[in-house]
Amino acid sequence: MEITFIENTIKLNDKELFKVPYKIKDVLKFNKVIVILSEYSEKEVLNIFGYDYSGNIMWQIDKKLENFNNIPTPYTGIYLQDDVLTAYNSAGYELQIDYNTGKVLNIDFIK
């Protein structure tokens, strides 16, 4: 099953599955969870979400990370590594996230 996206629409095998209220930057599939990284803004820095296949939100990341000026920074990327959901931001942090709950398991400063 291939998950893709266009603007704010999630597709499964080229058929519309559901829409979200924001523009999508990236999407990953983990078992029964669709993880969405939304486009970010200065107002919305908690921009990683977990959805089920019916379009119901299961979780939103709840960890704000700040840059050296103590300004919260949004997440800029997500990826899978050894079945672990990993996210990073422009302040140089990388986080491992439980994809079932959205809870942060580990934080590393990588820059």
Look up the CATH number of the domain holding residue 101.
2.40.10.480
The pLDDT of 29-41, averaged and rounded, is 92
How many domains would you assign to the chain? 1
pLDDT of residue 68 exceeding 80, the answer is no
Q: Which two tokens stand for residue 54?
A: 């019916």
Q: Predicted confidence band at 71 (pLDDT cuts at 50, 70, 90)?
A: confident
Tell me which of 63 and 11 has the higher pLDDT: 11
| Residues of the domain holding 37 | 3-109
Q: Where are the beta strands (DSSP E) in the chain?
A: 3-6, 9-12, 15-19, 24-30, 33-38, 48-51, 57-60, 65-66, 72-73, 75-81, 84-89, 93-97, 104-109
The one-letter amino acid at 6: I
